[in-house]
Amino acid sequence: MTVEEIRGVVAGNNEINRFPIGMRVLAVDDDPTCLKLLDGLLRKCQYQVTTTNQAITALKMLKENRNRFDLVISDVYMPDMDGFKLLELVGLEMDLPVIMLSGNSDPKLVMKGITHGACDYLVKPVRLEELRNIWQHVIRRKVESKPQSKSNNNHEKSNQGNEGGDQNVKLNRKRKDEDEDVEENGHESDDDPSSQKKPRVVWSIDLHRKFVAAVNQLGDEKAVPRRILDLMNVDGLTRENVASHLQKYRLYIKRISHQANMVAAFGGSKDASSYMRMSPLEGLGDFRILSSSGRLSNAAYAPSGILGRLNSATGVTLHSLMAPPLVQPNHTQNKLQPVNHQNMNLFQEIPSSFDQCSNKPNTQLTDFSSIEESRIFTGNKLVDFNSIDESRMFTGSNPLMDPSVGLGSKSLKLSSTGSESFNLLSSSSNFLDQNGNQPPNFSSNQLPVGGNYGYSATVKGGICSNITTTDTIPLEAHGGGLVDEIVQNVNNQSLSNQKNGQYSKQDYSQYSQNAFSTLASLALASGGGGGLSGPLSHGGLNGGTSALFKTEMPSLEMKMRSSEDGLVVNNGYGSLDGLMTGMMKREQEARMIVDGEFGYDSYAFGPCA
Amino acid sequence: MERNQMQMHRQIATIRKSLFDQGYLDEQFVQLEELQDNSNPNFVEEVVTLFYRDSARFLYNLDQALEKRPLDFSRLDSLMHQFKGSSSSIGAKKVKIECTHFRDYCNARNTEGCKRTFQHVKKEYTTLKKKLEAYFQMSRQAGPIETACRPR
């Protein structure tokens, strides 16, 4: 959407086109001196400021009217309520960007803020220059959520009647004047309207599949949003949605290639295909796929078990659905090593298989799919999901798109040719279908979206396979069902660790914010871990999870939170609390899985903003 | 009259400069000044007044906490952290520095050190308060700079 449109949407009626002037900020700080200072600074920036020195009051104000504010700035330390808690609540319930403020610049706290969903973390005393830029978080959120508004079955009311349609859906949500009360996100496959206040395009697996098909069909050079949109022929989807999705997809592919290279470096001797033949599904059990629409993306990742998980994909429209390639289920410990190799081989082979995909899609894809699935869940196997990247490719609202997505990374690589990935995707879809029970919700978090997808899915009791990779955060859409899986984004480096079937400390630092992060954030939010409220721009959690996946969530967050945050893609998440619990459990489980090697503590979350 | 006013303004400027030069105030204070404008004509003074009013309770609590034996260092640290945050909001540089020293001693669980530095904190706090009060008073008397400079 154009700048004007954004402005128009964000600002009130009387301030159209003046955004960020007049942006409505709610400032919360128990210290009156700081509050007054903040008030002065914000007024200087020409924002519309409301202040309160009590978090409880702030919450009340927000609950009364969600559209009354565009942004919330809150102190971390407050006597009546912990700032992080407020952050979670605001992020989860209201999907507003929240900026944390504190006199403490300890990185751990900053990290905590980010993981809880803060858009930004400012250190006191705050300077005017810093505040002048905070409006970007508002825009970012709108933009991020836009693509999410479209879910397969979602009908965005808000889109209708807007000029140009869809793009305003999200923006409209922000406008207090145009409170269309369309909880698009809520309308998406889930029945929890309260979870989202803005409609977002949810990149469900089907949708993503169509997208990839269109991209492949057009070829790399001609794959422009307009054409893709036309080819996809999906109602309510805007060019902007497609454009942003395409961007993520491309990043994802790049990341996948990178990942694959890394995998190749490991040089497994095993035949990748043999690996593929492993029934990944079983291993996947823990696979969590983030499916924005709760669709278990192709990742037929898990055999019933996994699928079960997927079901829970509460609204996590995280693209993660892409590909569970995260985890390679190794059925046996022994296989871990080989698996790794296989994984690598897998990767290596994938390209080739991709090439052949067109020719024998089924064969290839199937393998791939399996791999992907395995990827997703580390379960007993170590998974080096480098390919996670692929899944990550789609940030934000891509629900697990077909496992092909996971393949995706591979396919993405191939995507240059276009057709292959497409084939893969379709194949994976098929593959998924094979599993039968694809729960509508992806419980697994597919973080495949975007960039690096460090996906370390830890399968319960199993080895945690890390699918690390890239920054994308493995969005774990833990649906209720998926609680078991913890998908962790593991850095590529963890691959080596994985060899031993153990996760060494996961280095989340690689998590870059990808769309997944948003998903992650959503997941997180739902997980209650971090109300990724801030960064989560994905409003579109499918499955009604109120999990706010904010694409902006740093991938790390997602990962970390995998268990907690709710990468929950579960559609079935009725309540955030449930998600949170699930997530926490998962995270814990994941920890256990790793033979104690899992180190979650060093989450290096990228900044959300 | 004008000349007097101009003289006063010059005097005020000198005092202000010395506050910075002597390290009583830092850049943050300038931020406050920048926020002062026609719609907010007494912003700086308001914020400073608010600070002194509000921070009194911190000092009181800290005093109380320091009387206890043994010292609850984490509470002391937390109180001081908040106080420090407030002080830095108005640019009270020396106060802030002493707060940092206090916290260092807290972390080292050094009772004597804590008590000693707390006295420093209070001293700096009070000194700055007096200086600022004088400064604001003079500013009020001098009136807005515009009137002083308006040619007649």
What pLDDT score does A147 carry?
66
A vs B: CB pairs below 8 A? 59
Give how far the C-alpha of residue B151 lies from the chain's centroid of Cα atoms, to the nearest Å.
35
CA distance linking residue A308 with residue A326, whole number of Å: 17
Q: Of the candidates A494, A6, A407, A26, which has an alpha carbon nearest to the alpha carbon of residue A216?
A: A407
- Kindly give the parts of chain A with pLDDT less than 50: 11-15, 150-197, 268-582, 587, 589-609
Q: What is the DSSP string of A24-75?
A: EEEEE-S-HHHHHHHHHHHHHTT-EEEEES-HHHHHHHHHH-GGG-SEEEEE
Q: Which of residues 39-68 of B touch A (CB under 8 A)?
A: 39-40, 43, 46-47, 50-51, 54-55
Per-residue model confidence as pLDDT tens digits over A54-71: 999 998 888 888 788 889
Rounded CA-CA distance A60/A66 in Å is: 10
**Which residue is listed with tokens 């942004």?**
A71
Of the candidates A417, A423, A363, A375, which has an alpha carbon nearest to the alpha carbon of residue A400? A375
pLDDT single digits (tens) A90-111 = 877 777 889 999 888 889 989 9
From the list A37, A43, A127, which residue is nearest B47 (CB)?
Answer: A37
Helix H, strand E, coil C: the string for A302-344 is CCHHHHHHHHEEEECCCHHHHCHHHECCCCCHHHHHHHHHHHH
Q: Is B126 on the interface with A (CB under 8 A)?
A: no
Nearest to A196 by CA among A533, A484, A520: A533
SS3 track for chain B: CHHHHHHHHHHHHHHHHHHHHCCCECHHHHHHHHHCECCECCHHHHHHHHHHHHHHHHHHHHHHHHHCCCCCHHHHHHHHHHHHHHHHHHCEHHHHHHHHHHHHHHHCCCHHHHHHHHHHHHHHHHHHHHHHHHHHHHHHHHCCHHHHHCCC
The closest CB to that of B31, out of A33, A77, A127, belongs to A127
Chain B residue numbers with beta carbons less than 8 Å from the beta carbon of A103 are 81-82, 84-85, 88
CA distance A102 to chain B (A): 8
Chain A positions contacting chain B at CB under 8 Å are: 31-34, 36-37, 40-41, 43-44, 77, 103-104, 124-125, 127-128
ipTM of predicted assembly, 2 dp: 0.90
Please give the Cα distance from A447 to A538 (Å, whole number).
Answer: 13
Residue B82: its chain A contacts at CB < 8 A? 31, 77, 103
Closest CA to A569 of A560, A584, A579: A579
Give the pLDDT confidence score for residue A225 in this predicted structure: 85
- Look at residue A465 in the predicted model and tell me its pLDDT: 38
Residue B1: pLDDT band (50, 70, 90) is: low
Q: Tens digits of per-residue pLDDT, B36-91?
A: 988 888 999 999 999 999 999 999 999 999 998 888 998 999 899 999 999 999 99
Q: What are phi and psi of A495, to 5 degrees?
A: -55, -45
* B88: contact with A, CB 8 A cutoff: yes
pLDDT confidence of B145, banded at 50, 70, 90? Answer: low
Residue with tokens 């519309």: A48
pLDDT in tens, B4-25: 888 888 999 999 999 999 999 9
Chain B residues with CB-CB distance to A34 below 8 A: 85-86, 89
For chain A, helix (H) and strand (E) counts, in that order, are 25, 10
Say what the pLDDT of residue A7 is.
Answer: 54
Q: Do A103 and B46 touch (CB under 8 A)?
A: no
CB A345 within 8 A of CB A271: yes
The nearest CA of chain A is from the CA of B33 a distance in Å of 10
Alpha carbon A417 to its chain centroid, in Å, reads 26
Which residues of A are less than 8 Å from B88 in CB distance?
Answer: 103, 124-125
A584 alpha-carbon distance from chain centroid: 17
Task: Tell me the one-letter amino acid at A104.
Answer: N
Torsions phi, psi for A286 (to 5 deg): -90, 5
Q: Which of A501, A456, A491 minimizes the C-alpha distance to A595?
A: A501
> Which residues have C-beta within 8 Å of that of residue A474, sequence separation ≥ 6?
A320, A326, A388, A391, A392, A445, A446, A447, A448, A453, A454, A455, A456, A457, A467, A487, A488, A489, A516, A520, A555, A558, A559, A562, A567
At A319 the pLDDT is: 41
